[in-house]
Homo-oligomer: A and B are copies of this chain.
């Protein structure tokens, strides 16, 4: 017994001693994750400070005597409005602020009307009629929130409408100065909303439209990176391990980021849709006009997802299949498959660059790459027709054949993306740069410089903003000899990194 209790005592002591070090470790983990959150997107820190600023500004209402005398306790509605309305992007803040203001106004008007109507039926009937009105209006308004279109744009407004109507009509049965109350509520909400909108727009604004624009471009860029690297990686492994086949276990074990980057594209639908929804509320900013074709981004996003599904099946297939590959057949199609993959990758990179720079300039080379990938797909068909494989083991050609046919699908998908980006260029009036007397080969060089590094947005769960970090690693590998001082495009001058 004594030994046991001694052991227990020792254990307890150990635990006590271990506690501070564990606590320290926990603290370090938290600090690291805070640092990572801030580094992933420094706008998060700025947003936090902006919320603090807006809240401190609205608190002034309480310290400026004339304002306090005007509003009194109602001043808290302004504080409440700032906390509830201030969101990460300008569009979301505007959407909530305008929804809240209009809903409060209409609910106040309707509430006073309802109160007047109820007062006609005497003191006993009043609460009953008001109760019935509140019930009916709340039930009807709640039901309208199920309409997908209304939910996307006016959900918050309807919530505030129910809230204000109930508060006005219910409290109206006690407080006599309803008009005064409505006026105070509305004006304090307008003050709070105005502070939010002003701080949101004029202090380091985060535009939802810009986020959507960058997200779509970077999603295409991710697909491009995968496709550009895929051919080299897959077929290189094949030729290195010919006796093993290129079932791709080597590829899947190489934990290269280009194999994972496209995965975030698969689940980008909700983020894109909510960003497009908020972008519609935003005023003209930068090169985005008031009626910028946000819907077109959703179309491009959907096509990019289609392409990502194909890459997913390609990737999973390579990762899991371990069938031995026929080197003979493989050799026949290797070159043309690599070409298909890399040319469509290059085309997508040019398209991403066209979106990023909002310029028609990269289109000429994008079109050339699309054409080149289509030519490669046709070459593949010819190669397959002319391939004289007698006594072929179909099982041995199955993996290569599947990869080839998936690549053919990807080529046609890239063509569709290209068409959609061209359409966007027309709708959004991309910069048109005259390219007379410039050969496609020359025009390719300059804008390649525009998309140095890779854009890696971090999708943040179900939050409605996107983190976009620029990865400058690749600039180290930049071909220093590729200088083209006579480039036709001033954007072609190499930035001094």
Chain A positions near chain B (C-beta within 8 angstroms): 33-34, 37, 44-45, 47-49, 51-53, 55-56, 59, 62-63, 68, 73, 75-76, 79-80, 83-84, 127, 130-131, 134-136, 138-140, 142-143, 146-148, 151-152, 159, 162-163, 166-167, 170-171, 173-175, 266-267, 269-270, 273-274, 306, 309-310, 312-313, 316-317, 320-321, 329, 381, 384-385, 387-395, 397-399, 401-402, 404-406, 409, 412, 460-463
| Known A52-B139, A56-B131, A166-B59: A273·B462 in contact at CB below 8 Å | yes
Complex CA gap A409/B387 in Å reads 27
A142-B405 in contact (CB<8A)? no
A-side interface mostly = helix
Complex CA gap A56/B83 in Å reads 27
B residues in contact with A37, CB < 8 Å: 143, 146-147
Complex CA gap A56/B166 in Å reads 9
What are 15 contact pairs spanning A and B, CB under 8 A?
A: A37-B147, A48-B138, A49-B139, A51-B142, A52-B142, A53-B135, A59-B170, A62-B174, A83-B163, A84-B163, A152-B461, A309-B312, A381-B395, A387-B394, A401-B402
Complex CA gap A135/B131 in Å reads 41
Contact check: which of B62, B134, B313 meets A55 at CB < 8 Å?
A: B134
B residues in contact with A73, CB < 8 Å: 73, 171, 175
Top 8 closest pairs, chain A to chain B, by CB: A52-B139, A52-B135, A313-B313, A48-B143, A48-B142, A83-B163, A384-B395, A48-B139
Complex CA gap A63/B123 in Å reads 12
| Known A52-B138, A84-B159, A401-B401: A33·B147 in contact at CB below 8 Å | yes
Q: What's the least CB distance linking A475 to chain B, in Å?
A: 29
Identify the closest chain B residue to A126 (Cβ): B63
A170-B62 in contact (CB<8A)? yes
A393-B385 in contact (CB<8A)? yes
B167-A79 in contact (CB<8A)? yes
Most buried by B among A139, A175, A406, A409: A139
B463-A76 in contact (CB<8A)? no
B residues in contact with A461, CB < 8 Å: 148, 151-152, 273
Complex CA gap A372/B313 in Å reads 24
Identify the closest chain B residue to A59 (Cβ): B170
Complex CA gap A48/B143 in Å reads 5
